[in-house]
């Protein structure tokens, strides 16, 4: 595939499509400088572009001599660039027409349109980034909160890669010992040089996996479904948490007929709030029936469920039916309308979602919402905070590979303890080595690279 070629020059618009003050065309490859020099006319009479300096001038069509735009151009020679190839960035005005005309000039003069993520792919293939760091680039671009950005930036810095590589080296050392032991007679093989380092690997992998769920939450966000029977204040709660009148609120039961999703930052965690239609056993029409079905699907998909009840009324059979749906989920019981006299019997409340925190609020008066937000974050993160020196595993792919490495290492320990031959023990150790290598990129397939980098935007 052309995507894996390093010999040609690629070009792309590196900024978002649309009107803006500045737009950037980026080229990477052996002909990047020559192409830029053919279309850029510097204001000053210079014979060459000095590296890492901004040069002011004009972009001119070399065939028609037509002026395209004013521009700033910077040249970064290999290997001291993002891709470790010659890189040229042309900074023009952010007009889509101007950017496309400049892009067409670079294509006409021999560059090839870059594939999605190909700039970062070249950085990986040329050894500037490992695979985990390359994935962190996309995470930085897509970060929705400061905490998510911090996790991605630490991964780009190599915090996770350093720890994974250290664990992998322990496995490689053990693998070398096992392979050397194949030529020895069985009674000359010592168990301790195998068991002890493998137990250390198990400990290291377990620590990394302990942080995996938190890392995934910071990266992917948390889905929180707001559920309850009609007219208990679900939409008012959504508006209160968003600090915006996003959902329609009336005194008429069943106003919300479909799910409504909005994202909010709670303590650094991107939270997707899902307002749902009120759930009741006997929907009044087909539209409400569909809305109730979608509410039940939202409960199934949610990471956390907020079960909202009306504290100014006794619990109803519908409340109990919804409680049965939520009981097995990670949930919080939100007792709304606490500004009114409580009408729920204490004996009923004690048995209603007994293992979930109970939080009194008034969505109408915005009372108790700060405590509710804290409870959501605490439930999601287990009361833990993100420490600057704690590498968080923030990709499902990384988490799965760490589990694979852990399972293989435990299998190797069991094989060694039961007296299997070194060549059989080494099979599991090799599997663990390869799994960790897939995180940082030492062992990787073309299909995996294509899957990862296809998620990037063109120009990055």
CATH code, domain with 263: 3.40.50.300
- Kindly state whether residues 122 and 149 are assigned to the same domain: no
Q: Does one domain contain both 366 and 397?
A: no
60, two tokens: 């001119």
The token duo for 436 is: 């960790």
- Assess contact for 309 and 336: CB atoms under 8 A: yes
Residue 452 lies in a domain: no
Residues 204 and 233 in one domain: no
Distance CA 151, CA 6 (A): 31
Residue 446 forms part of a structural domain? no
Would you say residue 457 lies in a domain?
no
The number of domains in the chain is: 3
Shared domain for 122 and 159, answered yes or no, is no
pTM of the model: 0.74
pLDDT at 81: 95
- Whether 266 and 122 share a structural domain: no
Do residues 82 and 169 share a domain? no
Only one residue has tokens 């007929």, namely 257
Helical H runs in 126-280?
Answer: 131-142, 146-157, 159-181, 192-210, 212-220, 234-242
Range of the structural domain that residue 92 is part of: 2-129
Q: Do 266 and 404 reside in the same domain of the chain? A: no
387 found inside a domain: no
Residue ending a domain, among 103, 129, 155, is 129
Shared domain for 10 and 48, answered yes or no, is yes
Q: Quick one: pLDDT at residue 6?
A: 86
Q: Are residues 115 and 99 in the same domain?
A: yes
pLDDT by position in tens, the chain (length 460) = 445 778 899 999 998 877 788 999 999 999 999 999 999 999 988 989 999 999 999 999 999 999 999 999 999 999 999 999 999 999 999 889 999 999 999 999 999 999 988 999 999 999 999 999 998 888 888 887 777 888 888 888 888 899 999 999 999 999 988 888 776 655 455 555 889 999 999 999 998 998 787 787 777 778 888 888 888 888 888 888 888 665 444 444 444 445 688 888 887 788 888 888 766 555 555 655 666 677 777 788 888 889 999 989 999 888 898 888 888 888 899 999 998 998 888 888 889 998 889 999 998 888 999 999 889 888 877 655 544 455 778 888 999 999 999 999 999 999 999 988 888 999 999 999 999 999 999 888 888 888 888 888 777 7
Which two structure tokens, joined as six digits, stand for 186?
């069985």
Measured distance CA(274)–CA(225) in Å, rounded:
5
Let me know whether 372 and 408 are in one domain.
no
Contacts of 107 (CB under 8 A, 6+ apart): 11, 113
């Amino acid at each position: 595939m052309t995507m894996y070629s390093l010999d040609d020059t690629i070009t792309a618009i590196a900024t978002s499509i649309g009107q803006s003050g500045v737009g950037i065309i980026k080229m990477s490859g052996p002909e990047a400088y020559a192409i830029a020099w053919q279309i850029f006319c510097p204001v000053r009479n210079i014979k060459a572009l000095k590296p890492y300096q901004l040069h002011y001038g004009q972009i001119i069509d070399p065939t028609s001599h037509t002026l395209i735009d004013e521009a700033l151009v910077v040249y970064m020679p290999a290997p001291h660039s993002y891709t470790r190839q010659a890189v040229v960035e042309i900074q023009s005005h952010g007009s889509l027409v101007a950017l496309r005309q400049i892009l067409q000039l670079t294509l006409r003069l021999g560059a090839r349109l870059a594939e999605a993520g190909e700039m970062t792919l070249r950085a990986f293939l040329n050894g500037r980034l490992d695979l985990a760091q390359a994935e962190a680039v996309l995470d930085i671009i897509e970060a929705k909160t400061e905490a998510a950005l911090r996790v991605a930036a630490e991964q780009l810095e190599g915090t996770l890669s350093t720890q994974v590589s250290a664990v992998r080296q322990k496995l490689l050392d053990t693998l070398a010992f096992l392979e050397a032991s194949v030529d020895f007679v069985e009674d000359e093989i010592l168990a301790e040089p195998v068991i002890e380092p493998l137990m250390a690997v198990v400990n290291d992998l377990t620590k990394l996996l302990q942080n995996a769920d938190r890392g995934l939450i910071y990266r992917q966000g948390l889905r929180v479904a707001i559920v309850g029977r009609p007219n208990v204040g679900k939409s008012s709660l959504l508006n209160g948490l968003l600090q915006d009148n996003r959902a329609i609120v009336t005194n008429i039961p069943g106003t919300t007929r479909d799910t409504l999703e909005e994202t909010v930052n709670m303590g650094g965690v991107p939270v997707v709030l899902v307002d749902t239609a009120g759930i009741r056993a006997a929907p009044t029409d087909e539209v409400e029936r569909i809305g109730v079905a979608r509410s039940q699907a939202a409960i199934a998909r949610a990471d956390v469920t907020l079960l909202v009840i009306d504290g100014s009324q006794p619990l109803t059979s519908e409340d109990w039916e919804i409680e049965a749906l939520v009981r097995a989920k990670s949930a919080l019981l939100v007792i709304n309308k606490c500004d009114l006299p409580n009408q729920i019997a204490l004996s009923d409340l004690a048995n209603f979602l007994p293992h979930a925190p109970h939080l009194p609020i008034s969505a109408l008066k915005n009372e108790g919402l700060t405590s509710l937000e804290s409870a959501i974050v605490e439930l999601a993160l287990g009361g833990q905070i993100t420490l600057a020196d704690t590498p968080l595993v923030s990709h499902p792919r990384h988490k799965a590979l760490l589990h694979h490495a852990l399972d293989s290492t435990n299998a190797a320990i069991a094989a060694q303890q039961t007296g299997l031959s070194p060549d059989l023990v080494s099979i599991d150790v090799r599997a663990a080595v390869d799994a960790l290598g897939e995180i940082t990129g030492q062992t990787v397939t073309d299909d995996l690279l294509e899957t990862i980098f296809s998620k990037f935007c063109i120009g990055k």
